[in-house]
Structure 1
Amino acid sequence: MATRLPFVFVSAIMGWSALALQLYLLIVSNMEKGLPGIVGVMKFFDYFTILSNILVATVFTAIWLQRRDAGSFFTHPKVKTGVSVYIFITGIVYFLLLRQTWTPTGLWWLADVVLHYVMPVLYGVEWLFFTPKGQLRWHDTFRWAVFPFVYLLWALFWGAIFGFYPYPFIDVTTLGYPQALLNGVFVAIGFILMGLLLVAVDRRLGRKVKAIKQRDLA
């Protein structure tokens, strides 16, 4: 616990700082284009990367404020694992599909690295080493998939109104609805597979922990 608290504190600060930096950059870049700053704020919340990182920073903050593993919604193993699914898919999709679409520099590069690479790794450490294991069930995977599904519907609805799609693989203006929806299905499958993988790891580690406790009591 003595080692965990500084780690959680630094991770929370890093997460919120990167989010604040990204918000600032979006507001400034849109104002430089002659658009109101509120447009940058709206675009900020359009990105799944931002939403998943907000959840990650919230979990780290909840752990720090509570300083124990049980009794809080955001520190419950099922909630923490759902957030793991979101942030891991965020990092994987960005690395495989999106990093080639732009070349950030300066502060943009800093925010990009922290949100897409650093935070998934830090959260992976928290989930793997500090989250109690053995409490997940296979059907939890489909509950976790609800959030990204709702996000996809919202992104398509918002894009239809304002013409802005946060990711090229769901850009209806370029791809059309059939291809955009098909791409969304592929990403949804990725969420489900990641959830199943984490449940499998959780159950395996849970059995090991249980066996160790039984051996110690024998």
Structure 2
Amino acid sequence: MTRLWHGAIAALAAFALVGQTILTIDRDRPLINLFSYFTIESNILVLVAAASVAARPDRGGTAFGILRLGSLVAITITGIVYATVLAGNGAFTGIEWWYDKIFHYVVPALSVLGFLLFRPRTRLDRSALWFLIWPLAWLAYTLIRAGVSDPSYAVTSDRRAPVPYDFLDVDRHGGLAVAVACVVVLLLALGLAWGYLKLSRREVEA
């Protein structure tokens, strides 16, 4: 069941990622914008981690621990932030509506349930916290790119911004508000990481 569950997660993530990439190219949208979304990068991490678990459920090691914890925290944040802040901002139709639901609801839910319900659960230690380098680098890249190259993202159905998510728009909300939002998300990430580490240690102790 562990292999089947994580294999299904990997297949769903791959289906949505490939499909959204083809759709982006077909509609002449910039690919760099697509792969600059935290959501897309989170789903890529989950795809790699889930496929690795499907291939070998007892996989361990520092590098995999970083990947596993990073993918879990990132995809959990993706689901929470989308459901509480971003849902309804975009107007999706057709197959893109399904991709949106897979990215933001299905893959996050299945990933969390897979970690909670199935054994063997990946053994994580504090070295896995090195994953934090990636979201911090993503944030720096996003804000620097917004100021340097002025990209254009559809943050709502009728408004565009130089960042992929409205709460990161310094021009609209001001630097302080964006800083507060970033700190809140960082604290959420640390809390989730602590929770996943504790659950992993419980598995080891059991």
Are the aligned partners of 1:144 and 1:195 in contact in 2 as well (CA < 8 Å)? no
Instruction: Find out whether 1:153 has 2:140 as its counterpart.
Output: yes
Cα distance in structure 1, aligned partners of 2:203 and 2:195: 12
Instruction: Find out whether 1:105 has 2:90 as its counterpart.
Output: no
1:81-92 aligned at under 5 Å gives the runs 81-92=69-80
Describe the shift of the 1:166–1:206 C-alpha distance in structure 2 as closer, same or farther (beyond 3 A).
same
Larger-Rg structure: 1
Give the unaligned 5+ runs of structure 1.
Answer: 32-36, 210-218
Task: Quote how far apart the aligned CAs of 1:5 are.
Answer: 2.6
1:63-82 aligned at under 5 Å gives the runs 63-64=53-54, 66-70=55-59, 76-82=64-70
Are the aligned partners of 1:80 and 1:127 in contact in 2 as well (CA < 8 Å)? no
Per the alignment, residue 168 of structure 2 pairs with: 170
Task: Quote how far apart the aligned CAs of 1:200 are.
Answer: 2.4
Are the aligned partners of 1:56 and 1:83 in contact in 2 as well (CA < 8 Å)? yes
Are the aligned partners of 2:45 and 2:67 in contact in 1 as well (CA < 8 Å)? no
What amino acid sits opposite 2:139 in the alignment?
A: L
Give the unaligned 5+ runs of structure 2.
Answer: 151-161
Describe the shift of the 1:23–1:169 C-alpha distance in structure 2 as closer, same or farther (beyond 3 A).
same
Task: Quote how far apart the aligned CAs of 1:154 are.
Answer: 0.6
Per the alignment, residue 154 of structure 2 pairs with: none
Instruction: Find out whether 1:61 has 2:59 as its counterpart.
Output: no
Task: Quote how far apart the aligned CAs of 1:189 are.
Answer: 1.2
Describe the shift of the 1:4–1:203 C-alpha distance in structure 2 as closer, same or farther (beyond 3 A).
closer
Instruction: Find out whether 1:120 has 2:118 as its counterpart.
Output: no
- Normalising by structure 1, report the TM-score: 0.78
1:119-138 aligned at under 5 Å gives the runs 119-128=107-116, 129-132=118-121, 135-137=124-126
Per the alignment, residue 216 of structure 1 pairs with: none
Describe the shift of the 1:165–1:119 C-alpha distance in structure 2 as closer, same or farther (beyond 3 A).
same
Are the aligned partners of 1:78 and 1:136 in contact in 2 as well (CA < 8 Å)? no
Cα distance in structure 1, aligned partners of 2:71 and 2:146: 25
Q: Secondary structure at the match of 2:59?
A: coil
Are the aligned partners of 1:77 and 1:132 in contact in 2 as well (CA < 8 Å)? no
Cα distance in structure 2, aligned partners of 1:46 and 1:194: 23
Provide the identity percentage.
28
Per the alignment, residue 131 of structure 2 pairs with: 144
Q: Which has the higher contact order (CA 8 A, sep 6+)?
A: 2
Are the aligned partners of 1:26 and 1:43 in contact in 2 as well (CA < 8 Å)? no
Runs of 4+ in 1 over 6 A off after TM superposition: none
- Normalising by structure 2, report the TM-score: 0.82
Are the aligned partners of 1:133 and 1:203 in contact in 2 as well (CA < 8 Å)? no
Cα distance in structure 1, aligned partners of 2:182 and 2:4: 38
Task: Quote how far apart the aligned CAs of 1:184 are.
Answer: 1.3
Per the alignment, residue 198 of structure 1 pairs with: 196
